[in-house]
Amino acid sequence: MHADVFGRPLRNLRLSVTDRCNLRCEYCMPEDEYNWLPREDVLHFEEISALVDVFLAEGVDRLRLTGGEPLLRRDLPELVRMLAAKAGLNDLALTTNGVLLAEHADALAASGLRRITVSLDTLRPARFKALTRVDELTRVHEGMAAAKRVFGRAFKIDTVVIRGVNDDELVDLIEYGRAMHAEVRFIEYMDVGGATKWSPNHVVSRAEILTRLAGRYGTVTPIVESTSAPADRFALPDGTTFGIISSTTAPFCSGCDRSRLTADGMWYLCLYAARGIDLRAPLRRGASPAEIASIIAAGWGARRDRGAEDRLALGDRRAFVPVTSLKKDPHLEMHTRGG
């Protein structure tokens, strides 16, 4: 097991399988036009599988498929089947916006997908359309129903909370999650690449979320557990659980064991990292697994990233990456990096 400069293990890998998305959420993809990764650069399934083999040998044991929207990647269940069969893999999950999930849920589960997270920021049709710029809430609900049916309790709902946009729906979303048998996780609005309209005034902190839910439900009890998962979990008096990912006001970089591989094979050691490590070039050049392993080991061994903590330490905080820089390098976008 490799440890970085701060002793954090290489363990969780988020695999983005496409930078494309079928929504245009205001906090992630607010622009009218995007520069996409060149198609010829996007890794084939065999290439992803070969890199995953090296990552597994180097200590990774948990994979999450992301995008963009991963269900836009053709034949995704085939990739799931290839990954699920690998020895040493302890977890295989996927994050989706749910629009295409009803069509694919059965095939994904049959291929070996074990857990699913569906992103949903609002239950209100007009608000969904305004926030995502697409009128697809009905299909997301169909996807949610499929997730409940196929994945049972291995199903979570992620909600980015933005003041003045959806922060009046915390209770509604808890109730929706309860009906879907899914744990809801509230995510503080982050100033990552792509969030060009971010401002601290739009952040609803973990403390405020807890205060609001306690006001409605009564005592909220923290669930004490030792994991590297980003969400702190809590229980309501009736036993309903939920999570909060407080990356903005209370970052958890000190235990972060996550890295991200983009669809074109760039490896990022932090959500905020300005540069990635190119694994596609050596792979396509014919480098051996041992050579790629040494690149991974050296990269992780030198890792000092604590992006969210560095951001918190800044006094005057605004959007992290200007639009001009995003246009020049799509790797800085969260829809490329897999959130």
Contact residues: ligand SF4, CB under 6 A: 251-253, 256, 258, 270-272, 305-308
CB of residue 147 vs ligand SF4: minimum separation in angstroms? 26
Beta carbon nearer to ligand SF4, 28 or 100: 28
Beta carbon nearer to ligand SF4, 217 or 252: 252
Residue with tokens 């005057």, as numbered in its chain: 316
Within 8 A by CB and 6+ apart from 262, the residues are 16, 19, 37, 268, 276, 331, 336, 337, 338
Beta carbon nearer to ligand SF4, 142 or 257: 257
Beta carbon nearer to ligand SF4, 101 or 256: 256
Strands 91-96 and 62-66: parallel
Beta carbon nearer to ligand SF4, 140 or 160: 160
Name the token pair of 8. Answer: 């954090």
Beta carbon nearer to ligand SF4, 155 or 272: 272
DSSP string, 226-280: ----S-EEEE-TTS-EEEEE-TTTS--GGG--EEEE-TTSEEESSTT-S--EE-H
CB of residue 274 vs ligand SF4: minimum separation in angstroms? 12
CB of residue 231 vs ligand SF4: minimum separation in angstroms? 12
Q: Is 292 left (phi over 0), alpha (psi -120 to 50) or beta?
A: alpha
d(CA 81, CA 28): 30
CB of residue 60 vs ligand SF4: minimum separation in angstroms? 15
Greatest CA separation found in the chain? 60
CB of residue 113 vs ligand SF4: minimum separation in angstroms? 23
Within 8 A by CB and 6+ apart from 120, the residues are 97, 98, 140, 144, 157, 158, 159, 173
Q: What angle do CA 167, 191, 221 make, to 5 degrees?
A: 45
CB of residue 258 vs ligand SF4: minimum separation in angstroms? 5
Beta carbon nearer to ligand SF4, 111 or 248: 248
Q: What does the DSSP 8-state code read for residue 19?
A: S
CB of residue 139 vs ligand SF4: minimum separation in angstroms? 30
